[in-house]
Amino acid sequence: MHPIRQLTFPLGTWWGLSVRVHSVVAILLVGLTLRLLIEFPGQWAIGLGLMGVYVGALILHICAHALALLFWGVRPTLALVDPFGGQVSAPGSFAGTAPPALRVWVAVAGPLYHLKMAILAGAVVWIFDLPEGGALSQLPWNPFRPPLLDSLPQEPLLGFLHGWFWVNWVLCLANLCLVGLPMDSGEMVAAWITPITGASDSTKTVARAGLWMAFLLLIASVADNSVVVLILALHVVERAWTTLWEESHQSETEYEKTGDEKAWQTEVETERESWWQKWVRERERKRLEGEIVRQQADEARMDQLLEKIHTQGKSSLTNEELEFLRERADRYKNRMA
Protein backbone atom coordinates (compact mmCIF):
# COMPACT_ATOMS: atom_id res chain seq x y z
CA MET A 1 0.00 0.00 0.00
CA HIS A 2 1.14 3.54 -0.74
CA PRO A 3 2.70 5.17 2.39
CA ILE A 4 0.30 8.13 2.29
CA ARG A 5 -2.72 5.82 2.12
CA GLN A 6 -1.61 4.11 5.35
CA LEU A 7 -2.14 7.43 7.18
CA THR A 8 -5.47 8.29 5.59
CA PHE A 9 -9.01 6.98 5.73
CA PRO A 10 -11.68 7.05 3.00
CA LEU A 11 -14.49 9.59 3.10
CA GLY A 12 -16.35 8.05 0.17
CA THR A 13 -16.65 8.65 -3.55
CA TRP A 14 -18.26 11.93 -4.60
CA TRP A 15 -19.32 12.14 -8.24
CA GLY A 16 -16.56 9.76 -9.29
CA LEU A 17 -13.92 11.43 -7.07
CA SER A 18 -12.46 9.21 -4.35
CA VAL A 19 -11.93 11.39 -1.25
CA ARG A 20 -9.50 10.46 1.52
CA VAL A 21 -8.76 12.38 4.74
CA HIS A 22 -5.37 12.52 6.42
CA SER A 23 -5.43 11.25 10.00
CA VAL A 24 -3.84 14.51 11.22
CA VAL A 25 -7.10 16.31 10.39
CA ALA A 26 -9.01 13.96 12.69
CA ILE A 27 -6.37 14.39 15.43
CA LEU A 28 -6.65 18.18 15.23
CA LEU A 29 -10.44 18.15 15.25
CA VAL A 30 -10.74 15.78 18.21
CA GLY A 31 -8.01 17.54 20.20
CA LEU A 32 -9.34 21.05 19.60
CA THR A 33 -12.90 19.96 20.36
CA LEU A 34 -11.83 18.45 23.71
CA ARG A 35 -9.86 21.60 24.51
CA LEU A 36 -12.87 23.79 23.74
CA LEU A 37 -15.14 21.66 25.91
CA ILE A 38 -12.67 21.87 28.82
CA GLU A 39 -11.75 25.58 28.61
CA PHE A 40 -15.12 26.93 27.44
CA PRO A 41 -17.78 24.54 28.79
CA GLY A 42 -20.53 27.10 28.38
CA GLN A 43 -19.72 27.85 24.74
CA TRP A 44 -19.31 24.37 23.30
CA ALA A 45 -21.89 25.01 20.57
CA ILE A 46 -19.91 27.98 19.22
CA GLY A 47 -16.69 25.97 19.45
CA LEU A 48 -18.14 23.07 17.52
CA GLY A 49 -19.45 25.57 14.98
CA LEU A 50 -15.90 26.86 14.46
CA MET A 51 -14.72 23.28 13.94
CA GLY A 52 -17.45 22.91 11.33
CA VAL A 53 -16.23 26.10 9.64
CA TYR A 54 -12.72 24.60 9.44
CA VAL A 55 -13.96 21.29 7.99
CA GLY A 56 -16.13 23.12 5.47
CA ALA A 57 -13.18 25.25 4.37
CA LEU A 58 -11.04 22.13 3.81
CA ILE A 59 -13.72 20.42 1.72
CA LEU A 60 -14.34 23.53 -0.37
CA HIS A 61 -10.57 23.85 -0.87
CA ILE A 62 -10.59 20.41 -2.51
CA CYS A 63 -13.64 21.36 -4.57
CA ALA A 64 -11.79 24.43 -5.88
CA HIS A 65 -8.89 22.25 -7.09
CA ALA A 66 -11.27 19.73 -8.67
CA LEU A 67 -13.28 22.42 -10.47
CA ALA A 68 -10.07 23.98 -11.80
CA LEU A 69 -9.13 20.61 -13.33
CA LEU A 70 -12.60 20.09 -14.77
CA PHE A 71 -12.50 23.57 -16.31
CA TRP A 72 -9.64 22.35 -18.51
CA GLY A 73 -11.35 19.05 -19.33
CA VAL A 74 -9.30 16.89 -16.94
CA ARG A 75 -11.32 14.67 -14.63
CA PRO A 76 -9.75 14.26 -11.17
CA THR A 77 -9.72 10.78 -9.67
CA LEU A 78 -8.45 11.18 -6.11
CA ALA A 79 -8.62 13.93 -3.48
CA LEU A 80 -6.55 14.01 -0.30
CA VAL A 81 -7.75 16.34 2.47
CA ASP A 82 -5.01 17.50 4.85
CA PRO A 83 -4.79 20.26 7.50
CA PHE A 84 -3.69 22.84 4.90
CA GLY A 85 -6.52 22.02 2.47
CA GLY A 86 -5.26 19.14 0.35
CA GLN A 87 -4.62 18.19 -3.26
CA VAL A 88 -6.34 16.36 -6.10
CA SER A 89 -4.75 13.81 -8.43
CA ALA A 90 -5.41 13.40 -12.14
CA PRO A 91 -5.07 10.09 -14.03
CA GLY A 92 -1.84 9.13 -15.76
CA SER A 93 1.35 11.20 -15.70
CA PHE A 94 -0.38 14.56 -15.25
CA ALA A 95 2.42 15.99 -13.07
CA GLY A 96 5.02 15.29 -15.74
CA THR A 97 3.13 16.11 -18.94
CA ALA A 98 0.66 18.89 -18.10
CA PRO A 99 1.66 22.45 -19.12
CA PRO A 100 3.11 24.47 -16.22
CA ALA A 101 0.38 27.11 -16.54
CA LEU A 102 -2.32 24.45 -16.10
CA ARG A 103 -0.66 22.98 -13.00
CA VAL A 104 -0.26 26.46 -11.49
CA TRP A 105 -3.90 27.24 -12.27
CA VAL A 106 -5.03 24.10 -10.45
CA ALA A 107 -2.71 24.70 -7.48
CA VAL A 108 -3.60 28.37 -7.02
CA ALA A 109 -7.34 27.65 -7.14
CA GLY A 110 -7.35 26.60 -3.47
CA PRO A 111 -5.63 29.68 -1.99
CA LEU A 112 -7.59 32.00 -4.28
CA TYR A 113 -10.83 30.47 -3.04
CA HIS A 114 -9.80 31.13 0.58
CA LEU A 115 -8.79 34.70 -0.29
CA LYS A 116 -12.17 35.35 -1.91
CA MET A 117 -14.00 33.88 1.09
CA ALA A 118 -11.96 36.01 3.51
CA ILE A 119 -12.69 39.15 1.44
CA LEU A 120 -16.38 38.23 1.32
CA ALA A 121 -16.54 37.70 5.08
CA GLY A 122 -14.72 41.01 5.69
CA ALA A 123 -17.07 42.83 3.33
CA VAL A 124 -20.15 41.44 5.07
CA VAL A 125 -18.71 42.39 8.48
CA TRP A 126 -17.92 45.90 7.21
CA ILE A 127 -21.43 46.35 5.82
CA PHE A 128 -23.08 44.79 8.88
CA ASP A 129 -21.12 46.94 11.34
CA LEU A 130 -20.83 50.07 9.18
CA PRO A 131 -22.73 52.40 11.51
CA GLU A 132 -20.36 51.70 14.42
CA GLY A 133 -17.12 51.91 12.36
CA GLY A 134 -13.86 50.12 12.96
CA ALA A 135 -15.27 46.72 11.98
CA LEU A 136 -12.42 45.81 9.62
CA SER A 137 -9.76 46.63 12.23
CA GLN A 138 -11.51 44.30 14.67
CA LEU A 139 -11.21 41.29 12.36
CA PRO A 140 -8.74 38.58 13.50
CA TRP A 141 -5.93 39.49 11.06
CA ASN A 142 -3.13 37.83 13.04
CA PRO A 143 -2.75 34.28 11.63
CA PHE A 144 -0.85 33.17 14.74
CA ARG A 145 -3.60 34.24 17.12
CA PRO A 146 -6.89 32.37 16.58
CA PRO A 147 -9.97 34.23 17.77
CA LEU A 148 -10.86 32.98 21.25
CA LEU A 149 -14.45 32.16 22.01
CA ASP A 150 -14.72 34.83 24.68
CA SER A 151 -13.36 37.47 22.27
CA LEU A 152 -15.79 36.77 19.45
CA PRO A 153 -18.68 39.19 18.88
CA GLN A 154 -21.79 38.29 20.83
CA GLU A 155 -23.90 38.59 17.68
CA PRO A 156 -23.99 35.01 16.27
CA LEU A 157 -23.69 36.15 12.64
CA LEU A 158 -20.70 38.38 13.35
CA GLY A 159 -19.07 35.64 15.43
CA PHE A 160 -19.46 33.17 12.59
CA LEU A 161 -18.07 35.66 10.06
CA HIS A 162 -15.05 36.39 12.28
CA GLY A 163 -14.31 32.66 12.53
CA TRP A 164 -14.90 32.12 8.80
CA PHE A 165 -12.61 35.06 7.99
CA TRP A 166 -9.75 33.82 10.18
CA VAL A 167 -9.88 30.20 8.93
CA ASN A 168 -9.83 31.22 5.26
CA TRP A 169 -7.23 33.94 5.85
CA VAL A 170 -4.86 31.47 7.54
CA LEU A 171 -5.33 28.76 4.88
CA CYS A 172 -4.69 31.31 2.13
CA LEU A 173 -1.48 32.59 3.75
CA ALA A 174 -0.24 29.08 4.59
CA ASN A 175 -0.65 27.82 1.03
CA LEU A 176 0.89 30.91 -0.57
CA CYS A 177 3.66 31.89 1.87
CA LEU A 178 4.93 28.48 3.05
CA VAL A 179 6.78 27.38 -0.09
CA GLY A 180 7.09 23.59 -0.20
CA LEU A 181 5.13 20.39 -0.02
CA PRO A 182 2.37 19.73 0.92
CA MET A 183 1.29 23.37 0.50
CA ASP A 184 -0.10 24.56 -2.83
CA SER A 185 2.84 26.91 -3.30
CA GLY A 186 5.09 23.86 -3.53
CA GLU A 187 3.04 22.51 -6.44
CA MET A 188 3.27 25.92 -8.17
CA VAL A 189 7.06 25.96 -7.91
CA ALA A 190 7.30 22.33 -9.04
CA ALA A 191 5.13 23.12 -12.07
CA TRP A 192 7.44 25.89 -13.27
CA ILE A 193 10.74 24.04 -12.75
CA THR A 194 9.58 20.64 -14.10
CA PRO A 195 10.44 21.56 -17.76
CA ILE A 196 13.98 22.38 -16.58
CA THR A 197 14.74 19.70 -13.99
CA GLY A 198 12.20 16.97 -14.78
CA ALA A 199 9.21 15.82 -12.73
CA SER A 200 11.20 13.75 -10.22
CA ASP A 201 13.84 16.40 -9.42
CA SER A 202 11.25 19.16 -9.16
CA THR A 203 9.25 17.09 -6.68
CA LYS A 204 12.39 16.48 -4.61
CA THR A 205 13.19 20.21 -4.62
CA VAL A 206 9.82 21.30 -3.25
CA ALA A 207 9.84 18.40 -0.77
CA ARG A 208 13.17 19.63 0.64
CA ALA A 209 11.69 23.14 0.77
CA GLY A 210 8.82 21.64 2.77
CA LEU A 211 11.33 20.30 5.31
CA TRP A 212 12.75 23.80 5.74
CA MET A 213 9.23 25.17 6.21
CA ALA A 214 8.61 22.48 8.83
CA PHE A 215 11.80 23.59 10.61
CA LEU A 216 10.47 27.16 10.77
CA LEU A 217 7.11 25.90 12.05
CA LEU A 218 8.86 23.91 14.77
CA ILE A 219 10.66 27.06 15.91
CA ALA A 220 7.35 28.95 15.87
CA SER A 221 5.64 26.21 17.90
CA VAL A 222 8.33 26.43 20.61
CA ALA A 223 8.32 30.24 20.63
CA ASP A 224 4.53 30.42 20.80
CA ASN A 225 4.08 27.31 22.97
CA SER A 226 1.56 26.02 20.42
CA VAL A 227 0.76 22.33 20.19
CA VAL A 228 -1.31 22.90 17.04
CA VAL A 229 1.63 24.44 15.17
CA LEU A 230 3.82 21.57 16.39
CA ILE A 231 1.38 19.00 14.96
CA LEU A 232 1.25 20.88 11.65
CA ALA A 233 5.07 20.99 11.50
CA LEU A 234 5.30 17.23 12.09
CA HIS A 235 2.67 16.70 9.39
CA VAL A 236 4.74 18.70 6.90
CA VAL A 237 7.82 16.64 7.83
CA GLU A 238 5.91 13.40 7.28
CA ARG A 239 4.53 14.45 3.88
CA ALA A 240 7.82 15.88 2.62
CA TRP A 241 9.90 12.95 3.90
CA THR A 242 7.50 10.43 2.38
CA THR A 243 7.70 12.21 -0.97
CA LEU A 244 11.50 12.20 -0.87
CA TRP A 245 11.49 8.49 0.00
CA GLU A 246 9.18 7.72 -2.93
CA GLU A 247 11.28 9.61 -5.45
CA SER A 248 14.48 7.96 -4.18
CA HIS A 249 13.07 4.42 -4.37
CA GLN A 250 11.14 4.53 -7.63
CA SER A 251 12.98 1.47 -8.95
CA GLU A 252 11.74 -0.55 -6.00
CA THR A 253 8.09 0.43 -6.28
CA GLU A 254 5.36 0.12 -8.85
CA TYR A 255 4.92 3.89 -9.12
CA GLU A 256 6.12 5.89 -12.11
CA LYS A 257 8.64 8.74 -11.97
CA THR A 258 5.85 11.20 -12.62
CA GLY A 259 4.16 10.33 -9.33
CA ASP A 260 1.71 7.83 -7.98
CA GLU A 261 -1.37 8.90 -9.96
CA LYS A 262 -1.44 5.80 -12.19
CA ALA A 263 -1.19 3.37 -9.29
CA TRP A 264 -3.80 5.29 -7.32
CA GLN A 265 -6.02 5.41 -10.41
CA THR A 266 -6.08 1.60 -10.48
CA GLU A 267 -7.01 1.48 -6.80
CA VAL A 268 -9.64 4.18 -7.24
CA GLU A 269 -11.29 2.25 -10.08
CA THR A 270 -11.42 -0.83 -7.85
CA GLU A 271 -12.86 1.21 -4.96
CA ARG A 272 -15.59 2.65 -7.18
CA GLU A 273 -16.95 -0.78 -8.16
CA SER A 274 -20.33 -1.68 -6.70
CA TRP A 275 -21.11 -5.15 -5.36
CA TRP A 276 -22.88 -5.96 -8.63
CA GLN A 277 -19.86 -4.95 -10.72
CA LYS A 278 -17.56 -6.97 -8.50
CA TRP A 279 -19.86 -10.02 -8.84
CA VAL A 280 -19.95 -9.67 -12.64
CA ARG A 281 -16.18 -9.24 -12.77
CA GLU A 282 -15.67 -12.34 -10.62
CA ARG A 283 -17.99 -14.40 -12.80
CA GLU A 284 -16.13 -13.27 -15.92
CA ARG A 285 -12.82 -14.23 -14.33
CA LYS A 286 -14.11 -17.70 -13.47
CA ARG A 287 -15.53 -18.11 -17.00
CA LEU A 288 -12.18 -17.24 -18.56
CA GLU A 289 -10.39 -19.62 -16.22
CA GLY A 290 -12.83 -22.39 -17.22
CA GLU A 291 -12.25 -21.73 -20.91
CA ILE A 292 -8.50 -21.92 -20.42
CA VAL A 293 -8.82 -25.26 -18.60
CA ARG A 294 -11.10 -26.68 -21.34
CA GLN A 295 -8.78 -25.46 -24.06
CA GLN A 296 -5.81 -27.10 -22.39
CA ALA A 297 -7.76 -30.36 -22.06
CA ASP A 298 -8.80 -30.24 -25.74
CA GLU A 299 -5.23 -29.63 -26.84
CA ALA A 300 -3.99 -32.55 -24.76
CA ARG A 301 -6.63 -34.86 -26.27
CA MET A 302 -5.83 -33.60 -29.78
CA ASP A 303 -2.20 -34.55 -29.24
CA GLN A 304 -3.27 -38.04 -28.13
CA LEU A 305 -5.50 -38.56 -31.19
CA LEU A 306 -2.83 -37.37 -33.60
CA GLU A 307 -0.39 -39.77 -32.01
CA LYS A 308 -2.98 -42.57 -32.37
CA ILE A 309 -3.49 -41.75 -36.08
CA HIS A 310 0.26 -41.75 -36.60
CA THR A 311 0.77 -45.17 -35.02
CA GLN A 312 -2.53 -47.03 -35.78
CA GLY A 313 -4.06 -45.13 -38.70
CA LYS A 314 -7.22 -43.07 -39.03
CA SER A 315 -9.41 -46.18 -39.22
CA SER A 316 -8.62 -46.89 -35.57
CA LEU A 317 -10.58 -43.81 -34.42
CA THR A 318 -14.05 -44.23 -32.94
CA ASN A 319 -17.06 -42.22 -34.10
CA GLU A 320 -16.83 -40.01 -31.00
CA GLU A 321 -13.14 -39.30 -31.68
CA LEU A 322 -13.88 -38.48 -35.34
CA GLU A 323 -16.65 -36.10 -34.24
CA PHE A 324 -14.23 -34.41 -31.82
CA LEU A 325 -11.73 -33.87 -34.65
CA ARG A 326 -14.45 -32.40 -36.90
CA GLU A 327 -15.53 -29.96 -34.18
CA ARG A 328 -11.96 -28.87 -33.67
CA ALA A 329 -11.49 -28.40 -37.42
CA ASP A 330 -14.69 -26.35 -37.74
CA ARG A 331 -13.70 -24.23 -34.77
CA TYR A 332 -10.31 -23.55 -36.34
CA LYS A 333 -11.93 -22.58 -39.69
CA ASN A 334 -14.34 -20.18 -37.98
CA ARG A 335 -11.46 -18.58 -36.10
CA MET A 336 -9.49 -18.09 -39.31
CA ALA A 337 -12.54 -16.65 -41.07
Residue 255 phi, psi (nearest 5): -90, 145
| Number of neighbouring beta carbons within 10 Å of residue 39 | 12
State the average pLDDT for the chain: 79
Look at residue 131 in the predicted model and tell me its pLDDT: 46
Burial zone of 246 (CB within 10 Å; 0-12 exposed, 13-18 middle, 19+ buried) = buried
User: 42-46, 210-214, 282-286 — which one is most confidently predicted on average?
Assistant: 210-214
Contact yes or no for 239/181 (Cβ under 8 A): yes
Is pLDDT at 281 greater than 70 in this prediction? yes
Is pLDDT at 234 greater than 50 in this prediction? yes
239: confidence class by pLDDT, cuts 50, 70, 90: confident
Tens digits of per-residue pLDDT, 248-265?
776 444 444 444 444 444
Q: What percent of the chain has pLDDT over 90?
A: 17
Residues in the chain: 337
Is pLDDT at 81 greater than 50 in this prediction? yes
- For residues 187-215, average pLDDT: 89
Tens digits of per-residue pLDDT, 13-66?
888 788 889 888 988 888 888 877 787 777 677 677 778 888 999 999 999 999
Residue 158 CB partners (closer than 8 Å, separation 6+): 125, 128, 129, 152
Of the two residues 265 and 176, the one the predictor is more confident about is 176
CA 127, 129, 133, 134 dihedral sign is negative
Q: What percent of the chain has pLDDT over 70?
A: 79
- For residues 67-81, average pLDDT: 86
Look at residue 2 in the predicted model and tell me its pLDDT: 46
Q: Any idea what the Cα angle at residue 59 is, between residues 56 and 63, rounded to 5°?
A: 130
Look at residue 224 in the predicted model and tell me its pLDDT: 81
Distances in Å between the Cα of 68 and the Cα atoms of 84, 85, 146, 152 are 18, 15, 30, 34
- For residues 196-215, average pLDDT: 89
Q: What is the 3-state secondary structure (H, E, C) of the chain?
A: CCHHHHCEEEEEEECCEEEEEEHHHHHHHHHHHHHHHHHCHHHHHHHHHHHHHHHHHHHHHHHHHHHHHHHCCCCCCEEEECCCCCEEECCCCHHHHCCHHHHHHHHHHHHHHHHHHHHHHHHHHHHHCCCCCCCHHHCCCCCCCCCCHHHCCCCHHHHHHHHHHHHHHHHHHHHHHCCCCCCHHHHHHHHHHHHHHCHHHHHHHHHHHHHHHHHHHHHHHHHHCCHHHHHHHHHHHHHHHHHHHHHHCHHHCCCECCECHHHHHHHHHHHHCCHHHHHHHHHHHHHHHHHHHHHHHHHHHHHHHHHHHHHHCHHHCCHHHHHHHHHHHHHHHHHHC
Residue 99's region, left for phi above 0, alpha for psi from -120 to 50, else beta, is beta
Instruction: Give which of 161, 158, 175, 157 is closest to 61, Cα–Cα.
Output: 175
120: confidence class by pLDDT, cuts 50, 70, 90: very high
Q: What is the 3-state secondary structure (H, E, C) of 21-61?
A: EEHHHHHHHHHHHHHHHHHCHHHHHHHHHHHHHHHHHHHHH
Residue 90 CB partners (closer than 8 Å, separation 6+): 69, 74, 75, 76, 77, 98, 261
314: confidence class by pLDDT, cuts 50, 70, 90: confident
Residue 223 phi, psi (nearest 5): -65, -35
337: confidence class by pLDDT, cuts 50, 70, 90: low
Look at residue 133 in the predicted model and tell me its pLDDT: 45
Is pLDDT at 192 greater than 50 in this prediction? yes
Instruction: Give which of 208, 227, 263 is closest to 4, Cα–Cα.
Output: 263
Look at residue 154 in the predicted model and tell me its pLDDT: 61
When mean pLDDT is compared across 55-69, 140-154, 280-294, the lowest value belongs to 140-154
Look at residue 67 in the predicted model and tell me its pLDDT: 92
Whole-angstrom distance, CA of residue 69 vs CA of residue 218: 34
Taking only Cα atoms into account, the Rg of the chain, rounded to an integer number of angstroms, comes to 30
